């Protein structure tokens, strides 16, 4: 299905470019029109191409996040100056909206908003204008655990498979890579990666 749709969307984009009315638009505007057409089609196909049930990966990840929901920022983040749980709660709320969006772009927009709020709060608290991966990775891990996403793998794979090729070359493609990295870190997380958490408190992953 993804390959068939990608081929169809390429043909659709070429057909759009051949229309006489398109000559009045810039290249970027034509790309935007094509993306909106793709989004409309994906929206209409959503219940046919998005999994009807949570995968084993989804369930296992959700259970791990529920199990680790007791953690506090200090269990993961050493720099207390960047804590801003009120703003981080807003990030968590945005992440929880992902299941209510029906196109890859809209799903990723909600994650992008969540990450931007988190990064802005860190910049404000730390005084840093430029943030590196080391500054943001653990807060991002924290908010994703706290959001307890129910279908994180299904949403990731859906976005990976059906995101517009042109959008995949933008910040959305970078964001997808970042999301998968954070998912893997949480999936493989051990108790000794947290501060002040015992092996007993951490618990064990269940076989699904």
**Domain locations in the chain?**
1-49, 55-202
Q: Which burial class, exposed, middle or buried, applies to 69 when counting CB atoms under 10 A from its CB (0-12, 13-18, 19+)?
A: exposed
Q: Does residue 203 contact residue 81 with C-beta atoms inside 8 Å?
A: no
**Coil, helix or strand for 198?**
coil
DSSP 206: P
CATH superfamily of 55-202: VPS9 domain (1.20.1050.80)
Residue 106: pLDDT above 90? Answer: yes
Report how far residue 50's alpha carbon sits from residue 58's, in angstroms, rounded to the nearest whole number.
13
Say whether pTM exceeds 0.85. Answer: yes
User: What are the structure tokens assigned to 1, written together?
Assistant: 């299905």
Pair 154, 55: CB distance under 8 Å: yes
Whole-number percent of the chain with pLDDT over 70: 100
DSSP state of 78: S
Tell me what pLDDT residue 208 has: 64
Handedness of CA 46, 52, 56, 59 (dihedral sign): positive
Q: Which two tokens stand for residue 85?
A: 């749980």
Provide mean pLDDT across the span 47-58.
94
Residue % of the chain over a pLDDT of 90: 62
Rounded CA separation 132/166 (Å): 26
pLDDT, one tens digit per residue, over 127-146 is 777 777 777 899 999 999 99
Residue with the bigger pLDDT between 98 and 131: it is: 98
């Amino acid at each position: 299905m993804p390959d068939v749709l990608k081929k169809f969307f390429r043909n659709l984009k070429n057909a759009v470019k051949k229309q006489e009315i398109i000559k009045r638009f810039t290249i970027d505007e034509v790309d935007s029109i094509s993306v909106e057409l793709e989004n409309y089609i994906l929206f209409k196909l959503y219940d046919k191409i998005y999994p009807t049930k949570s995968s084993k990966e989804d369930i296992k990840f959700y259970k791990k996040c529920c199990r680790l929901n007791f953690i506090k920022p200090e269990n993961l983040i050493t720099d207390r100056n960047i804590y801003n749980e009120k703003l981080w709660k807003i990030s968590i709320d945005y992440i929880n909206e992902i299941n209510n969006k029906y196109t890859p772009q809209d799903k990723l927009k909600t994650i992008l908003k969540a990450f931007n709020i988190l990064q802005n709060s860190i910049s404000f608290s730390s005084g840093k204008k430029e943030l590196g991966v080391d500054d943001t990775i653990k807060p991002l891990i924290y908010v994703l655990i706290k959001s307890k996403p129910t279908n994180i793998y299904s949403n990731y794979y859906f976005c990976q498979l059906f995101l517009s090729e042109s959008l995949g070359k933008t910040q959305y493609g970078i964001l997808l890579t970042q999301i998968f990295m954070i998912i893997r870190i949480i999936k493989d997380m051990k108790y000794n990666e947290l501060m002040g958490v015992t092996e007993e408190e951490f618990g064990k992953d269940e076989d699904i």
